[in-house]
């Protein structure tokens, strides 16, 4: 698949890639430091290249998680290619060999010692299971939160919409379980990101719902162009309230014009 966006992650050695594999890639994503993607938004498809200096290169399909200006681009990796998995296995075997020779332990080479299959079967580290739902979400990395947002249940979705990381909000709105009543609540939050307001208004159902549009128009955090456009569908009572001064001045003026035309 050819994508509009391409991201290249370069590693100076196999050991550097192995560390990134253990800490990030096995959790479903990767932060590509120094990368720049102009015009990309969360969940855009992209081509990801992983290059190990002087050794191998691997290409795979990914999705933009978030663009962090001055830092890089975080991507989601839905499936790790088999050739990368095989290369990682070679690196792990080489690493075990070095460790064994360093301590003089012959156990790593004798028959019956744990191999790559046993390592692959080991459970991936999960966020701590104790505490409240809010605590468990707080313990997740950004990449884990993004993946979780796409399949989270109702209570978790509401907490994620209040997260200080605005990139998460777009992922919650792409969760197939989210309902209209949740969106009606979301547009009242002062934590909602500008991108989330944009997604909601562009939705074929949400963007024409009177309660949703009223919430957008009356939320001071909604970008002004989006709030003005949402006024096309707000109920007369909300339009009247804005016209009386319950809102930002550009919205008040627009509401008064609409009231005068009625």
Domains present along the chain, CATH in parentheses:
1-123 (2.40.10.220), 131-178 (no CATH), 194-262 (no CATH)
Looking at per-residue confidence, does 158 or 262 come out higher? 158
CA distance 164 to 149: 14
List pLDDT tens digits, range 73-109. 888 888 889 999 999 999 888 877 655 554 444 333 3
Closest alpha carbon to 88 in 12, 7, 8, 19: 19
- What is the model's pTM? 0.59
CA dihedral for 241, 243, 247, 251, sign (positive or negative): positive
Q: Give the rounded distance of the alpha carbon of 115 from its chain centre.
A: 34
8-state DSSP, 66: E
At residue 188, φ and ψ (nearest 5 deg) are -90, -10
Tokens describing residue 181: 């009543």
């Amino acid at each position: 698949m050819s994508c509009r966006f391409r991201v290249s992650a370069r590693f100076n050695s196999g050991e550097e890639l192995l560390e990134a594999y253990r800490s990030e890639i096995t959790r479903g994503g990767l932060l590509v430091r120094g990368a720049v993607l102009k015009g990309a938004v969360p969940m855009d498809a992209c081509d990801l290249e992983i290059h190990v200096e002087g050794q191998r290169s691997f290409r795979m399909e990914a999705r933009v998680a978030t663009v962090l200006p001055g830092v890089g681009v975080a991507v989601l990796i839905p499936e790790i290619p088999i050739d990368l998995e095989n290369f990682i296995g070679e690196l792990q075997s080489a690493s075990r060999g070095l460790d064994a020779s360093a301590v003089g332990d012959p156990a790593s080479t004798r028959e019956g010692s744990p191999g790559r299959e046993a390592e692959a079967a080991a459970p991936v580290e999960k966020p701590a299971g104790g505490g409240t739902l809010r605590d468990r979400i707080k313990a997740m990395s950004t990449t884990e939160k993004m993946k979780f947002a796409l399949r989270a249940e109702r209570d978790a979705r509401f907490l994620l919409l209040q997260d200080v990381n605005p990139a998460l909000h777009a992922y919650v709105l792409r969760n197939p379980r989210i309902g209209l009543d949740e969106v009606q609540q979301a547009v009242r939050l002062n934590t909602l990101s500008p991108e989330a307001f944009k997604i909601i208004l562009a939705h074929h159902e949400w963007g024409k719902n009177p309660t949703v549009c009223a919430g957008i128009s009356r939320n001071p955090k909604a970008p002004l162009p989006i709030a003005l456009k949402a006024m096309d569908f707000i109920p007369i009572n909300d339009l009247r309230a804005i016209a009386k001064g319950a809102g930002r001045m550009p919205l008040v003026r627009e509401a008064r014009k609409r009231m005068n035309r009625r």
